[in-house]
Amino acid sequence: MKLVPLRLSGAWLIELAPFSDDRGFFQRVYDDVTFAKHGLSTSWVQDNEAFNTRAGIVRGLHFQRPPHAETKLVRVVQGAIYDVIVDLRAGSSTYGQWEGVELDAQQQRMLYIPRGFAHGYCTRTEHARIVYKVDAHYAPQAEGGLRFDDPTLAIAWQVAEPTVSDKDRRWPSLAELRTPFEELT
C-alpha cells in the first residue's frame, strides 16, 4: 500500500498492491497502522456502496455539516469513475480549489477525503460500483452540497450531457455557500 499526498492538503491517493497469481489476487485495502502513521482517520463507523447503471451520471458535490462532518475512503470495485473533491475549509490555502482523479477496478487505487471537502463523481462506465468508508454516521439534517456545474469551479467532468438528480442541480454555488468548515484547515 502506497500513500501519495494530493495537491489539496489532507487528501491522499492510495495505491494498493495486489499479490497476483494464476488464481487471481489478494490485497490489503486498509491498515490502521499505516493510516495512523500518516495521520489519517482509522475509526470507520459505516461502509457504503453506490451502484450506477450507466456512464455519464454525476453525483455530488456532497458533504455533511459539522458536527456530522465525515472523512471518506473511496474505492471502485466495478467499472470506473472520475472522482472530484473541493476544499471547503475556510482557513485552508487551497480553499475553493478542486482536484479530480480517475478511480477504476483495474488500477486498484483509493481516494482518502478528509473532513471539510465536498465530494462527487462522474461514472465513466456502465455498471460502476463504488464502496466507501466514513468516520461519522450519516445525518440527513446535516446534508450539504455544492453545484456540480459551478462556473467558478469549472470542473471538467469529462461528459458532455451528464445525468444529474434534481437535488444535486439545486445546491448553491461556491460564491453562495457560507462554508460550515470554519474550524478545519
Catalytic residues: 62, 132
Q: Which three cell numbers stand for residue 98?
A: 478542486
Helix (H, G, I), strand (E, B) or coil at 18: coil
Contact, 157 vs 82, CB < 8 A? yes
In b/e form, how buried is each residue of 21-47, taking b as 16+ CB within 10 angstroms? Answer: eeeeeeeeeeeeeebeeeebbeebeee
Handedness of CA 106, 162, 160, 122 (dihedral sign): negative
d(CA 83, CA 17): 20
The alpha carbon of residue 123 and the mean position of all alpha carbons in its chain are separated, in whole angstroms, by 13
d(CA 55, CA 127): 8
